[in-house]
Amino acid sequence: MSTRGLILGIESSCDETAAAVVERGARTVSSVVASQIATHARYGGVVPELASREHLRAIVPVVRAALAQARITLADLDAIAVTAGPGLAGALLVGVTYAKALAFAQGLPLVAVNHLEGHIHAVLLNEHEQEQALQAVEEPIVLKGHDFSRAANTTKKSRALAPEANSPSPSEPALALVVSGGHTHLYLVRPAHGTWTYKLVGRTLDDAAGEAYDKVAKLLGFGYPGGPWIDALSRFGNPKAVPFAFSHIKPKVYLAGKVPRTKAAKTAPIADLDPRFLFSFSGIKTAVLRYVELHILREEAHDRAARLFAPNSEARPPQTKEEALALCPQQILDLAASFQCAVVGDLMKKSFAAAESLGARSILVTGGVAANRELRGRFTAEAARRGLRIAFPTLALSTDNAAMIAAAAWPRFQAGEFAEGSLSGDPSLALGR
């Protein structure tokens, strides 16, 4: 065991097998992600059985690669952290079983991390890393009369500047929007006695925002995951072309128990939530379907999917308007832009309303959909207008990774919150109440 505060994080809740080494919850020493996108792309979504099989194949090489990239061995670690849920049952089982075995064999403590907590810590980890880089620049290294401040963030000195855990983080309390393929949840986040508390204040009643992106992209004949496709296509379309609207969610509907029993509904209770902060993305998906049928676009989408998913096709989201128009007519670009504009608008409206009503002084946006260009731009502008601080993870930390799991484990490790030997993956694990 070392005194460096090195935690090995393991993540296998969905379709990425990931391992990372993070120092004191504040510096990524290594991060390896094995994506299963190629396996699931041809089915237009994650196939749980295939995901488990791929995790089994990848977990040992991915963990070895993370240790090698960090230039350490298992003996240098202080703890192992693993995603315990929510996620796919079989996928979680692979990571949890492997982490337990490794921790037992090495005599290391095991820390169980909620995947959503991991996404929130991706932002905090990013903040810590930016602070270190800044500090390194601000504290010039003066050597024989020369000022090396501009190069300082690449020196060993900058590495020694790792801040203490839980030191300056976003102004508290923070409102966190976790928006991904499996979740659209709002939390009020506060530091408390060395760790963090999470109060659930809003969530989707049905589909997650990322799920809507994936389903709409599939319907329009584009690739999986759909978010990066819709993101790229939207740049070239008119967001006002199709007036999608989100209806108000009536408290009676969900209190009367009429809420669909979906994946999302299982991971968080809804009874005490303010209906102003509830989301629903299944309606807009159906509205896009209606539009496609009404405008006889189905066949065109079908042909595109056949072209894009032909063997050896290396389809990727378009970078220019010409590339976009080579893939689809302007009408589809307008549809994609209108869908995205409506989804981002709804996420913004409810997140900022919650931040204002709950007295949050900063907003964190995280999860795969936080990689979206329009979302980042519009959230940033609105936060500036309201005088709120806003933070996103880097693009690499937005989608699933294990650095966020190792970072989230650090305060728990310090507080001695270790997992029991009986730990098992919980597909519906809830965070906060």
x/- track of binding to Zn ion for residues 374-413 (CB under 5 A):
--------------------------x-------------
Contact flag: residue 180 with Zn ion (CB under 5 A): yes
CB 87 within 8 A of CB 55: no
- Tell me how far, at minimum, the Cβ of 367 lies from ligand KG4, in Å: 4
- Tell me how far, at minimum, the Cβ of 118 lies from Zn ion, in Å: 7
**Residue 223 binds which of Zn ion, ligand KG4, none (CB < 5-8 A, kind-dependent):** none
Nearest to ligand KG4 of 253, 301 (CB atom): 301
Rounded distance between C-alpha atoms, residue 401 and residue 218, angstroms: 24
- Tell me how far, at minimum, the Cβ of 220 lies from ligand KG4, in Å: 13
DSSP string, 175-224: EEEEESSS-EEEEEEEEETTEEEEEEEEEBSS--HHHHHHHHHHHTT--S
Rounded distance between C-alpha atoms, residue 135 and residue 129, angstroms: 10
Contact flag: residue 12 with Zn ion (CB under 5 A): no
By CB under 5 A, the residues from 193 to 212 that bind Zn ion are none
- Tell me how far, at minimum, the Cβ of 27 lies from ligand KG4, in Å: 22
Q: What secondary structure letter does DSSP report for 362?
A: E
Contact flag: residue 234 with Zn ion (CB under 5 A): no
- Give the CA dihedral 354, 356, 357, 363, nearest 10 degrees: 40
Nearest to ligand KG4 of 315, 358 (CB atom): 315
Q: What secondary structure letter does DSSP report for 257?
A: T
- Tell me how far, at minimum, the Cβ of 292 lies from Zn ion, in Å: 28
Q: What angle do CA 96, 98, 103 make, to 5 degrees?
A: 95
Nearest to Zn ion of 132, 184 (CB atom): 184
Nearest to ligand KG4 of 226, 318 (CB atom): 226
- Tell me how far, at minimum, the Cβ of 417 lies from Zn ion, in Å: 22
**Residue 227 binds which of Zn ion, ligand KG4, none (CB < 5-8 A, kind-dependent):** ligand KG4
CB 25 within 8 A of CB 407: yes
**Cβ contacts of 192 within 8 Å, gap of 6 or more:** none
**Residue 25 binds which of ligand KG4, Zn ion, none (CB < 5-8 A, kind-dependent):** none
CB 96 within 8 A of CB 411: no
Helix (H) or strand (E) holding 330: helix 330-358
CA atoms within 13 A on the CB side of 232: 21
Nearest to ligand KG4 of 173, 228 (CB atom): 228
Best CA proximity match to 354, nearest among 197, 212, 178: 178
* Length in residues, the chain: 433
Judged by CB under 5 A, how many residues of this single chain contact Zn ion?
A: 2
CB 191 within 8 A of CB 169: yes
**Residue 213 binds which of Zn ion, ligand KG4, none (CB < 5-8 A, kind-dependent):** ligand KG4
Point out which residues bind ligand KG4 (CB under 6 A). 14, 180-182, 210, 213-214, 225-228, 231, 367-369, 371-372, 399-400
CB 346 within 8 A of CB 259: no
By CB under 5 A, the residues from 144 to 173 that bind Zn ion are none
- Tell me how far, at minimum, the Cβ of 214 lies from Zn ion, in Å: 13
**Residue 369 binds which of ligand KG4, Zn ion, none (CB < 5-8 A, kind-dependent):** ligand KG4
Nearest to Zn ion of 114, 340 (CB atom): 114
- Tell me how far, at minimum, the Cβ of 227 lies from ligand KG4, in Å: 2
Q: Which residues of 317-327 are buried (b: 16+ CB within 10 A; e: fewer)?
A: bbeeeeebeeb
- Tell me how far, at minimum, the Cβ of 88 lies from ligand KG4, in Å: 10
Nearest to ligand KG4 of 30, 114 (CB atom): 114
Residues that bind Zn ion (CB under 5 A): 180, 400
